Amino acid sequence: MENLNEEVHKANEIIKEGGIILYPTDTVWGIGCDATNPEAVAKIYKLKQRAETQSMIVLMNGEKMIYNVFKDIPEVAWQIIDLSEKPTTLVLDKPRNVAPNLIAPDNTLGIRIVKEPFCFKLMEKMKKPLVSTSANISGQPTPKSFKEINPEIIKGVDYVVNLHREKIACTPSTIIKLTNDSQVKVIRK
């Protein structure tokens, strides 16, 4: 546990300075930063060699954070969050209070509520949502474990979290798109 708090502290210090981190999530290893900092977000796009039009998802640690980013949340979103057995990303309409370069061209943002202790505690400290994108160069396969991560990515971040480096990841999250007029579409099972 000691180590967890220490890693949360170190990661938070880097993020406060506008840095980007490589960290374990409830699914695969992710590259992350403060979701309200457009310069930090731009660094991640650059590192991944990814077009800014391909939006990234944002992790949150609970309702309060979701309401800070979305004014209108379809009722079905809460049902999906409550019923999901596995990590589920929801794509919702009209986000606000996040970096503009995170928002998709159709004015949506993918979010996931995480209970994973490192991410949860880090966001508690940050009091902000955390960007999460798979730790690969765009177009390359998503690494299932720390040792599959491209050295360029490891060199390119400002801090690598020293937890769960042996863990083999499960699959990436399910992605469900919800529009404010209550349409539901599964994008990734």
Is 112 within 8 Å of 59 (Cβ atoms)?
Answer: yes
Q: What is the pLDDT of residues 80-106, one digit of tens each?
A: 988 888 889 999 999 999 999 999 999
pLDDT of amino acid 184: 84
Q: How far apart are CA 66 and CA 79, in angstroms?
A: 14
pLDDT exceeds 90 at position 181? no
Rounded percentage of the chain residues whose pLDDT exceeds 90: 69
- Cβ burial of 112 (10 Å; 0-12, 13-18, 19+) is buried
> What region, left, alpha or beta, does residue 139 occupy, with left being phi > 0 and alpha being psi -120 to 50 degrees?
left
Asked if residue 170 has pLDDT above 70, the reply is: no
Name the residue with tokens 């505690």: 121
Q: Does position 114 have pLDDT exceeding 70, yes or no? A: yes
**C-beta of residue 30 within 8 angstroms of C-beta of residue 135:** yes
Judge whether residue 172 has pLDDT over 90: no
130-134 and 57-60 beta bridge pairing: antiparallel
Report strand pairing: 88-93 vs 174-178: parallel
Tens digit of each residue's pLDDT (9 = 90 or more) over 149-164: 999 999 999 999 998 7
Q: How far apart (Å, rounded) are the C-alpha atoms in residues 151 and 63?
A: 36
Residue 174 has pLDDT above 90, yes or no: no
